[in-house]
Amino acid sequence: MTEAPADSRPDPAAPPGPSGRGPQLASIAVASALFMEFIDSTALSTALPTLSTAFHTDPVHLKLALTSYILALAVMAPASGWAADKYGPRRVFMLAMSVFLVGSVLCGFAQSLAQLVVFRTLQGLGGAMMTPVGRLIVVGSAPRERLVSAMSWFTMPALVGPLVGPPLAGFILGVASWPWIFFINVPVGLLGMAAVLRFVPPLHPPDPGPFDGKGFALTAVAITSWIGLAETAGMDLIPVAAQGALGLTALGATGLYLRHWRRTERPVMNLGLVRFLTFRASLLGGTVLRLGLGATPFLLPLLFQVALGWTPFEAGLVTIGTTVGALACKPVAPGMIRQFGFRRVLIVSNLATAVLTAAPAFFRHSTPVPLIIGLLAVAGFTRSLQFTATNTVAYAELPPGAISNASTLSVVAQQVGLSLGISFGGLMLHVARGSTEGPLTPERFLLPFLAVGLVSALAGPIYRRLPADAGASIGGRKRA
């Protein structure tokens, strides 16, 4: 993998952005292309109870439709940085979007849960390149002192996806069949591709050298085994002996990769970057945070539609409160980080996020809907602030040549955390139902939400190890 940012050398023949707004327009174009990915994930979460009926399967098992996508993304992401450096970020990004669209169409034609899992995996192969390469384009093109603002621009359009996805999915499920929640990706994706072609110039990074095929194979086996073990643990889906074999495979592949990493000049994932304090805190804290938050998109639709008996449209309208709060945070996040510093913002927002993540444990039929919407909106605000801070502080100490490696490692850790979070939420729900697998009543969700809230809070001690002036060079706050 190259030691220079993958987008450090734009094509000199490409037209410059108007009035220095080139990087900003490129960020918005990439984010608009990712818009369909966010619509897809939130729409699918809203449709889980409907898919459970269509495929005649237990709602808890529908988490496979979520984790299969994340698994494919986590496995393929290590190759994204090398592919972007080798073939150009824009070309790889466009190819990834095409694969995602093909997978979306095939998902709409799935006839069983097994087929849906396979086609969601294909979607994940496209998403594996879209997300990290898109971030690479944004981070590499923005001046370091404007990185917080650039990341906010990058995430702002993407947040509209979760705002539109739930009510749109609810409306579609009310007037049409479930496959249309996947078919809507096609027009959105084509518009995003047009924006990328218009505003992202062709880029020509230095040659990254040979691909670390052995390292990629080891990481693929390790990630697949760990997630497979988490997905089946305590669920009686496979024999105990098979679970033990998965665990041994995961440990063995992880150990072999650690040995390979130490002996390889350019490993597919450079674990040596954890020596930078801010990057290490972001990587570990963000992963732990996602272990808790990853379960929320899986648990909330089941709580609202199955336990509380709401329609998909009603559930979709209520859950957009989270996105409204997240959108409200984006314009003020840079100022809050500049005023209070990364460390304080991370610690306080983590505590608030953990409490609000656990709050749905107490939602009942008698809970006022405005209160539910308000709590979800505040939760969206604190989560957005948390993710903006932790995603940005990661790059505070990194040299420019490490951005590509850091982006790849961050995406892998994030997706593994999200996948393990969904599995953890499913396991807690399975435990709460007991061996009889009784009906999903609101009381059954007490344990799952309290558990994911507690896990989210474990990121706090990690952030407390940061110095008070951590990230001052990119956050705009003067050092003490």
414-435 residue pLDDT tens: 888 888 888 888 889 888 887 6
Per-residue confidence band for 469, with pLDDT thresholds at 50, 70 and 90: confident
Token reading at 410: 């961050």
How far does Cα 180 stand from its chain's mean position?
A: 23
Between CA 336 and CA 329 the distance in angstroms is 10
Between CA 72 and CA 53 the distance in angstroms is: 25
**According to DSSP H, which parts of 342-464 are helical?**
342-358, 369-393, 403-433, 446-457, 459-464
Integer Cα distance of 363 and 261 in angstroms: 47
pLDDT score for 82:
81
Q: Over the stretch 70-106, which tens digit does the pLDDT of each residue have?
A: 888 888 888 877 888 788 888 888 898 899 999 999 9
How much is the mean pLDDT over the chain?
82
Supply the angle between the helices 185-199 and 22-54 in degrees, to the nearest 10.
170
At a CB cut-off of 8 Å and minimum separation 6, what does 363 contact?
303, 308, 372, 442, 445
Query: What pTM does this model have?
Result: 0.75
Q: Which CATH number fits domain 19-211+268-475: 1.20.1250.20, 1.10.1740.10, 3.40.640.10, 3.50.50.60?
A: 1.20.1250.20
Distance CA(302)–CA(82), nearest Å, equals: 39
Instruction: State both tokens at 473.
Output: 């060079």
Cβ-contact 46, 97 below 8 angstroms: no
User: What angle do the packed helices 369-393 and 147-175 form, to 10 degrees?
Assistant: 140
Q: What is the pLDDT averaged over residues 347-352? A: 94
- Decide: 302 and 49 in contact? Cβ < 8 Å: yes
Of 29-38, 248-257, 458-467, least confident by mean pLDDT is 29-38
| Average pLDDT of the residues in 198-214 | 78
Average the pLDDT over 297-310 and give the result. Answer: 90
| Residues with Cβ within 8 Å of residue 241, at least 6 apart in sequence | none
Residue 35 above 80 pLDDT? no
DSSP state of 60: G
pLDDT of residue 159: 60
pLDDT in tens, 142-194: 666 666 666 666 666 556 666 677 787 888 888 888 899 899 888 888 888 88
Residue ranges of the alpha helices (H) in 179-212? Answer: 180-183, 185-199
pLDDT, position 145:
61
Q: Specify the higher pLDDT residue, 109 or 440.
A: 109
